[in-house]
Amino acid sequence: MKARIIGTGSALPPKVVTNDDLAKIVDTNDAWIRERTGIQERRVSDAAVATSDLAALAAEKALKASGLKPEELELIIVCTCSPDMLFPSTACILQGSLKAVNAAAFDLSAACSGFNFGLTTAASFIESGKFKNILLVGADTLTKYLDWTDRSTCTLFGDGAGAVVLQATDREVGVLTSFMMAEGQLGPVLTMPGGGSRDPEEKNGRFIKMAGKEVFKFAVRVLETSIKKILESTGKTVEEIDLFIPHQANVRIIDHVSKKMGLPKEKVYVNLHKYGNTSAASVPIALDEALAEGRIKSGDLLILSGFGAGLTYGSNLVKWG
């Protein structure tokens, strides 16, 4: 059994915040943010909107595209590091709002690697024969956890959600192979320390703290590693890859790795100029947009890759069809 993607969907909050908007509140400018990150604008959700609200919008679109009814789902996984609350899980909140009455539901926490870890997890459930129809969502609202006085982080992130419906098939399509890994000793370079059981009163703040340069070095190293692992385990070559959809954090990371791996620009999907880093949502939003733009056709080989807090990283090789 293989896990095939039979529907995709995405959702972005309508409010656009440009680099010029940010230059009014912190000491930054459009040229710096564009040159150092590639980001031009990002979407920011209103105070009343929580992660499950965006997840529900993306999930409804993915379900519609798949042709499945909510009650046909057997499992819902929401990959997020900005859940609505510590419990119940965002996946259970979503299961309730979708009325997916026959589905189990849980959250998966792997920050910006979340969707790739989730895809590997969902595919494994399907390959084992445990479930046939799974809804997988990557959703984050990290703008709620930004220190809007810290120019080194508040310029980078945006909110969004992306979803896919996976279904069992006996054809050799869908998720062909996966790789996932963690380097927990590097965890301190990217944290959101407040609010957990070590600091329930948020004495350490409720904001993202990041040593950007360290994360950058990690990202270029592990993206290359995880692409190589995927290719090695299947005997495929870079030339056989039709589209690389990396986590959308910084265009310099993507350009560096693509060049090193010999992937030409037309085989690399980038939309971070519009949305910034949407964490677990970035890869499924990119997948949904690439499909809508006609960049993916039946039989294409895709590599989806993520990296992020943990630190974590992972990739999936997907044959479209």
Q: Determine phi and psi for 134, rounding to 5 degrees.
A: -130, 135
Residue (32 or 106) nearer to ligand ACO, CB: 32
Tell me which residue of 253, 251, 237, 249 sits closest to 303, measured CA to CA.
237
Min dist. Cβ of residue 29 to ligand ACO (A): 7
Q: Which of 81, 92, 112, 154 is catalytic?
A: 112
**How distant, in Å, are the alpha carbons of 56, 249, 251, 304 from that of 242?**
30, 21, 19, 11
Q: What angle do CA 19, 112, 168 make, to 5 degrees?
A: 130
The C-alpha R_g of the chain, in whole angstroms, comes to 18
Q: Output 111 or 230, the one with its CB closest to ligand ACO.
A: 111
Nearest alpha-carbon partner for 69 in 59, 79, 57: 59
Q: Choose between 44 and 296: whose C-beta lies nearer to ligand ACO.
A: 44
Determine which one of 19, 133, 250, 277 is catalytic: 277
**Which whole-number Å values give the CA distances from 153 to 71, 191, 241, in the listed order?**
40, 12, 33
Whichever of 168 and 280 has its CB closer to ligand ACO, that residue is: 280
DSSP per-residue codes, 65-89: HHT--GGG--EEEEE-SS-SSSSS-
Rounded to the nearest whole angstrom, what is the least distance from the CB of residue 261 to ligand ACO in the complex? 18
Q: Would you tell me which residues interact with ligand ACO (CB under 6 A)?
A: 28, 32-33, 36-37, 111-112, 151-152, 155, 190, 212-213, 215-216, 219, 249-250, 253, 277, 279, 308-309
Active site residue 112: yes
Closest CB 143 distance from ligand ACO, rounded Å: 12
Active site residue 250: no
Active site residue 102: no
Provide the minimum distance between the beta carbon of 156 and ligand ACO in the complex, in angstroms, as a whole number.
Answer: 6
Catalytic positions are 112, 247, 277
